[in-house]
Structure formats: structure tokens, C-alpha cells
Amino acid sequence: MVTAPLLDVNGLRVSFPGRGRRSRPVEVLHGVDLAVGAGEAHGLVGESGSGKTTIGRAVLGLVEAGGGTIRFGGRDVTRLAGRVGRALAREIQVVFQDPYSSLNPSLTVGDILSEPLVVQGAAPAAARERVRDLLDRVGLPADAAERLPREFSGGQRQRVAIARALAPEPRLIVCDEPVSALDLSTQARVLDLLRDVQRRTGVAYLFISHDLAVVRHMCHRVSVIHRGDIVETGPAGPVTSAPRHPYTRRLMLASPVADPAAQAERRAARRRLAEAERTGTV
């Protein structure tokens, strides 16, 4: 028996109202199909304006789907609101890119972490216990609960954001560029934490990024999105290192390698591809 994927997006279309009074809505996703299995890290790679963030926001219920369906755990969640929508909230969580604006500056870390728990009916003492446990799990000291977000560095704040996402014990976390605002050394440590959390809890990730190297490091499977369409999907290694679609190939050759000799080769390969595309031989 083939088990249904945890998250199953089918023919998803999203439009945003155009600028100005009479302009037509602009469609940013043109029928996207995407499946994320339980416990899987699924990468979603694309450039700015490709619609990758919009897919994540549609899954989270933050933007309205204009067409298609989003199924989660076998249930249609495309248009859920109110109480049922909030019950769904425990199952799908989010880690945003910007660790500065994603934490309310006027709440302590303890309040930020316990709020979703208390709303879902946890007793204050149990919530405090859980906050300690969460802080420990993401590698922050227990006294972090009494401090304000501004007392932490970018990497530490992203740990707080991960702890907040883990609080309701979700089955899927949408990670929207979670490390692109971080320094190189911090980035590696946060990615290690995300992998470690996944191994221990079996949570699935929809991992949105513009960086092929990060996705290769982090994900089992990858989908590449270009101007609102998924152009290539497959296991992370082959898709990011030996892509089949011309767009993915262009993306790969444009990402610089940290080695002058290898980068010179890659640059030459990129120029050959660009030349070939211009003369129409591809």
C-alpha cells in the first residue's frame, strides 16, 4: 500500500491584487504540485520573485489559495478558518528568515515560547516546564526564558524561533530561509540543530531557500521553482549537483564555489552555457 504524503499540494494557484484600481490580479503560482513525506526534509529552491515564499505562506494559511488543494495528513486544509484552523496550527509551524522581526521585541523569550502552549490550554506550571525543555533542546541556557529577544545574537534568536516552532509538537515546520540572515559559522550550527531535531522528533520540513548548497546539506528531496512553476523535483544530491533542467543548471553554475581554481572552471562553464542559450543551441 502506498501511504499518502504528509503534505500534498496539488495544482496550487495564488494571485495577488495588482497595483492600482483597475489592474488585473497577478498570478504568482501557476498550479504547483508538491509532496512532503512524514519526517522528510523537502527543499524548495528558487530566486526572488519565484513564488517559493508564497507556497510556504499558503501552506501556513497566511495567504489564500486561488485554486488547487492543500492536503495535510490526508485532510483537505485549503480553506480552513476559525477553530479548526487553529487546531491545524499545532500541526504546521514556521521558522522565518529574519530572526529580528519574527520575535516580538516586548515579550520575554519565556513568554514567546509559552504563549502558544497556554492558548492551547496548558497549565502555567506545565508550560514553564516545557519551555525549559525546549530551551534545552535548542541549546540555549535555561535563564534565557527571563530575557528579551534583543539580548540575543541572530543565531540565538533563530534558536528561539525554532523552539517556538517546536513548542506545539508539530508534524511539519515550514522553514523560510531560516539561515540566510546568519553568519557562515552560525549558519552551519543552526542547520546542524535543525537536522538533529528532525532525527529525534521525526518532524518534516518544507525548507525554502535560494541557496543550493544549504539545500543540498539539509534536504532529502528538492523542488526547483522558477516564476511560479516547479521545473524539477528529485533527490537532493542529483538535483543540486547534476541538474537536468536548464534553469537549475544555470542556478548551479551561478553559485560561486569557495575555491579559485574550481570557480574559474565553473565561470567558464556558465559562460559557455549562456553563449549556447543565446545562440539557441540548447
Partner 1 sequence: MTASTAPQDAVRRRSAARRLLRDPQAVITASVLLLIVVLGLLAPVLTSHDPNHASLDHIDAGAGTDGYPLGGDRSGRDIWARLLHSINTSTVSALIGASIALVIGVSAGLVGGYHDRLRSLTEWVFSLVMTFPGLLLLIVLMPLTGGDFRTTMAIFGVLLSPGVYRITRNQVLGVKNELFVDAARVSGLSDRRILVRHVLPAVRGPVIIATAFLCGSSIGVQSGLAFLGVGPATTPSFGAMISEGFHNLYLSPLQFVWPSLVLGALTSCLVLFGNALRDALEGSRRRPAGIPAPKAPAATGAAPAGLLAVEDLTIAYPTPSGELKEVVSGVSLVLEPGETLGLVGESGSGKTQTAFAVLGVLPSEAVVVRGSIRLDGRELLGLKESELRGLRGRAIAYVPQEPMSNLDPSFTVGAQLVEGVRAASGASRGEARRRVLALLERVGIPDPERAFRSRPHEISGGMAQRVLIAGAVACRPALLIADEPTTALDVTVQAEILDLLRDLREEMDMAVLLVTHDFGVVADVCDRVAVMRTGEIVETGTAEKIFGGAEHDYTRMLLDSILDENTVRGDAPVAADEPLGRTTTW
62, three cell numbers? 497566511
Q: Which is nearer to partner 1, 13 or 195 (CB)?
A: 195
CA gap 128, 142 in Å, rounded: 11
Q: Which is nearer to partner 1, 145 or 219 (CB)?
A: 219
Question: What residues between 116 and 175 interact with partner 1 by CB under 8 A?
Answer: 116, 119-120, 148-150, 154, 161, 164, 167-169, 171
257 binds partner 1 (CB under 8 A): yes
Per CB under 8 A, the segment of 7-15, 20-28, 97-105, 127-135 that binds partner 1 is: 97-105
CA gap 209, 224 in Å, rounded: 10
Q: Which is nearer to partner 1, 33 or 91 (CB)?
A: 91
Smallest separation, CB 218 to partner 1 (Å): 6
Q: Which is nearer to partner 1, 116 or 139 (CB)?
A: 116
CA gap 123, 157 in Å, rounded: 25
Question: What residues between 171 and 200 interact with partner 1 by CB under 8 A?
Answer: 171, 183-188, 191, 195, 198-199
Question: What residues between 227 and 256 interact with partner 1 by CB under 8 A?
Answer: 236-237, 241, 250-251, 253-256
User: For residue 16, how far is the Cα from the chain centroid?
Assistant: 21
Smallest separation, CB 190 to partner 1 (Å): 11
Smallest separation, CB 9 to partner 1 (Å): 17
SS3 158: helix
89 binds partner 1 (CB under 8 A): yes
CA gap 212, 240 in Å, rounded: 6
Smallest separation, CB 177 to partner 1 (Å): 11
98-114: buried (b, 16+ CB within 10 Å) or exposed (e) per residue? bbeebbeeeebbbebbb
Site size for partner 1 (CB under 8 A): 87
102 binds partner 1 (CB under 8 A): yes
53, three cell numbers? 515564499
Query: Closest Cα partner for 116 from 161, 74, 68, 71?
Result: 161
Site string for partner 1, 54-73 (x = CB under 8 A): ------xxx----------x
259 binds partner 1 (CB under 8 A): yes
Residue 199: exposure state from Cβ atoms within 10 A (0-12, 13-18, ≥19): exposed
CA gap 114, 126 in Å, rounded: 9
14 binds partner 1 (CB under 8 A): no
CA gap 33, 12 in Å, rounded: 7
Q: Which is nearer to partner 1, 11 or 244 (CB)?
A: 244
Smallest separation, CB 78 to partner 1 (Å): 15
96, three cell numbers? 522565518
CA atoms within 13 A on the CB side of 249: 14
